[in-house]
Structure formats: structure tokens, C-alpha cells
Amino acid sequence: MAYLYYTVTAVLLYLLSDWILNKIETHYGKRFEYRSVIFFVIIMVLAVGSFEMIDRIVGEPPQTSSLPQDTPATN
């Protein structure tokens, strides 16, 4: 179920990052030369924060190994 949250968040972050970059360029008055790098930085910052928040909220327990740790050796 957590994959659905991450997927929806990723799509929303893509759209939000594009909107933020367009607003910054509108305020600046022209297109940036390294637009893709700036877009990457914006989406990366938003993604790290958002995914960390999702991880804390969903809080799925980590997967454990199905093998027992203290098994006697067989000869």
C-alpha cells in the first residue's frame, strides 16, 4: 500500500516542481540556461522531505528474514 502513496506523491511532486520553476522563471523574466538542473534540485529537495514524511506516517515494519538465527548445526 505504501507504494501507492509514493507513486501519487512522485507525480504530484513532478507537477509542483514544474510549477515552482515556472514561477521562479516568470519572476526572473526569462528561461534559465540550466533549467533541468534547477528542476532536479527542486524535485530532489521536495522528494526527500515528502518520502521521509510518508515513511514516518505509514511506518511499515522492516522485513525480517524467515530463517531462524540460532539453528543447530547438522552433521
Greater confidence, 58 or 34?
34
DSSP H or E run through 22: helix 2-28
Query: 20-54: per-residue pLDDT in tens?
Result: 999 999 999 999 999 999 999 999 999 999 999 98
Question: What is the structure's pLDDT at 59?
Answer: 74
Residue 70 carries which side chain, given as an amino acid letter? D
- Write the pLDDT tens digit of every residue in 6-19: 899 999 999 999 99
Distance between CA atoms of residues 43 and 18, nearest Å: 9
Position of cell 526572473?
28
The Cα 21–Cα 37 span in angstroms is 11
pTM score, whole prediction: 0.71
pLDDT at residue 60 tops 90: no
